[in-house]
Each structure stands twice: as structure tokens, then as C-alpha cells.
């Protein structure tokens, strides 16, 4: 193993060299009290089953003795939340690239949806960034196969409150539409370059505010069509939220304008956005005007 990349609820993550394949990998060590071997192997089986260009690929597991290890492909730019907050190579990624990233995440989630899997912890912190702005959904530690339309979490399960749909907060029930709610929050994270959602709101107050109809306002400079997509994800009734297939289609539609496609290709070829990249407009793709923001603070906002 090389240096530590980070840590979380389940254990630490390290960069490592896999001598057999002569490749760099990520190794997640699981805390001794995290889960039983049987549960760990079930989680590993889930990850092994999931194969998509926008999902982090499982390479192997080590269960000889605790702590257990999960070995996955290595993503060189780290998690999306840090990428949004600090930029890439000391520059701010342009709005077109950010929307390209959102489209990739929607593609990966659409695949999970088609396999009747729920992620249950979708957020910018659980998406990883590679070279050329490649993004993959990671951390399937909470992923579950839905045998019915919903999954009920066990008593005492912990949830990321500000990303969790109302039905999850109130009844511990989850579905792919719960992931859709979280994707709306993730879009808001992207549009604000990594701000924490519901700024200034206590965790204990989130559910009651949502129940009364409160939703976060459009971030400054965010086009109406993108904010409308967020609001669709935040419908109180899960049945009224769009599918990931529809979300992916809507985001792809925003790239149909040739000038936008050319700009994405240009930035991908450059490998990194130049400092001071002018922010883009997606109006020709039907994005409409920018809404007034209620995000507050001094966060950078996407001028899409």
C-alpha cells in the first residue's frame, strides 16, 4: 500500500500497487466491527455484478482475516465533492464539463435502475473523478437489490439526512426514486461547486421543512431547465419523480447544440480547464434563463 486517500464510516481507503497487473488500485479497509463476513461477501458480490463505464469496478476482495479489503479501480482525481470545491489543477471546471459529469452520473444510475438496484448514498462525495473528466459512481456499501418495489432499512440504520428522500426519513423505505431525490441534491451540489445542501438548516428541521413544501431555491446562474430537473427529483411523492432513464435523456438533450458538444470535446482534449474559463450558456439547448438564487454565501455558481 502507498498513501491514505481518505476515510469514512466503514473504513479507510488507500492507494496501492497491484503487482500482478502492474496497475494502481484503491484498497478499502473495513473496520472490524463494520459487518460480518457473510454480509461483506454479499456486498462484494453486488459490486462484482455491476459493470458499467460510469460505475467504479470491483477488482477483488481479501477475506483471509480481519480487516477485510475491497480492491477497486483507482480514480486519479479523487471524489467529486473535493473536485468541485478545489478545482482541477488549480482551475475551476467550466459549466459544460460539470454538466457532462452530471450526465455520466445519470448514466451510471440509469444502469443501476435497470438492474433494480438502489444505491442509498448517492452524493458528490461518493462519485469519483478520473482523467479527462471521467466520473464514476462509487461506494456501494449500502446498495441493495429490490425484491419488491421498495427496500426497508433495518432498525437503527444511519442515513445522510440532507440527501435522503422524505419516505426514507419517515419510514426507512427506499426505492430507485429515493436515489432520484438524492440525484437532485447532487445536481445542486454541482451547481454550487460543492456547497452543503440546505445551508443554515439544522438536520432536525429538514424533514418538517420539506413536509411543508420547502425546497432549495435555484442557485445563482443556474438555468431554469436544470433547476426544473432538480425540482422534479424533489417531488414529495416518489411516483411523481422522473426515472433515471428520463433524467439521463434530459441531460443529454442539453448537449445537442453543436457549439456545446465542440466545447466539451475541446476541454476533454486539453485534459483540464484553463484558469479563468468563461462560464457557458446552454440557452440554445433549451435551458432558458437563470433563476434567482437562494443558496447564499460566497459559493461559486454555475453559469450554464
Catalytic residues: 121
Write the CB contacts of 6 (distance below 8 Å, at least 6 apart in sequence): 12, 13, 78, 79
Q: Alpha-carbon distance 117 to 151, whole Å? A: 10
Q: How far apart are CA 110 and CA 277, in angstroms?
A: 31
Q: Is 77 annotated as a binding residue?
A: no
User: Binding site annotation covers 22?
Assistant: no
d(CA 85, CA 83) in angstroms, rounded, equals: 6
Helix or strand or coil: residue 164? coil
Please give the grid coordinates belonging to residue 158. Answer: 444511519
Q: DSSP letter at 297?
A: T
Is 126 known as a binding-site position? yes
Q: CB of 72 within 8 A of CB of 57?
A: yes
Distance from CA of residue 70 to its chain's centroid? 20
Beta bridge mates, 174: 151
Distance CA(286)–CA(255), nearest Å, equals 10
Do residues 126 and 79 lie in contact, with contact meaning Cβ atoms separated by under 8 Å? yes
Binding site, by residue number, is 38, 125-126, 139
Question: Which amino acids are annotated as binding site for Mg(2+), given as ranges?
Answer: 126, 139
Annotated binding site for ATP: 38, 125
Amino acid at each position: 500500500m502507498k498513501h491514505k486517500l481518505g476515510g469514512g464510516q466503514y473504513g479507510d481507503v488507500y492507494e496501492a500497487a497491484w503487482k500482478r497487473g502492474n496497475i494502481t488500485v484503491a484498497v478499502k479497509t473495513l473496520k472490524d466491527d463494520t459487518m460480518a463476513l457473510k454480509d461483506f461477501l454479499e456486498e462484494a458480490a453486488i459490486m462484482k455484478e455491476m459493470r458499467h463505464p460510469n460505475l467504479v469496478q470491483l477488482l477483488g476482495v481479501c477475506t483471509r482475516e480481519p480487516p477485510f479489503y475491497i480492491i477497486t479501480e483507482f480514480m486519479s482525481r479523487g471524489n467529486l465533492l473535493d473536485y468541485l470545491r478545489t478545482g482541477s489543477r488549480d482551475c475551476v471546471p467550466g459549466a459544460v464539463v460539470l454538466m457532462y459529469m452530471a450526465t455520466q452520473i445519470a448514466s451510471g444510475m440509469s444502469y443501476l435502475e435497470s438492474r433494480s438496484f438502489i444505491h442509498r448514498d448517492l452524493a458528490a462525495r461518493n462519485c469519483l473523478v478520473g482523467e479527462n473528466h471521467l466520473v464514476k459512481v462509487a461506494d456501494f456499501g449500502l446498495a441493495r437489490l429490490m425484491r419488491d418495489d421498495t427496500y426497508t432499512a433495518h432498525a437503527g440504520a444511519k442515513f445522510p439526512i440532507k440527501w435522503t428522500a422524505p419516505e426514507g426519513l419517515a419510514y426507512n423505505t427506499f426505492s430507485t426514486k429515493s436515489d432520484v431525490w438524492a440525484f437532485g441534491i447532487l445536481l445542486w451540489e454541482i451547481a454550487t461547486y460543492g456547497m452543503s445542501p440546505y445551508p443554515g438548516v439544522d438536520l432536525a428541521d429538514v424533514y418538517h421543512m420539506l413536509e411543508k413544501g420547502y425546497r432549495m431555491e435555484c442557485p445563482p446562474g443556474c438555468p431554469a431547465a436544470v433547476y426544473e430537473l432538480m425540482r422534479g427529483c424533489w417531488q414529495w411523492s416518489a411516483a411523481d419523480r422522473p426515472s433515471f432513464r428520463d433524467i439521463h435523456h434530459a441531460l443529454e438533450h442539453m448537449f445537442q447544440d453543436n457549439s456545446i458538444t465542440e466545447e466539451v470535446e475541446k476541454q476533454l482534449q486539453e485534459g483540464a480547464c484553463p484558469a479563468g474559463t468563461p462560464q457557458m450558456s446552454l440557452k440554445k439547448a433549451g435551458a432558458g434563463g437563470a433563476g434567482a438564487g437562494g443558496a447564499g454565501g460566497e459559493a461559486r455558481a454555475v453559469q450554464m
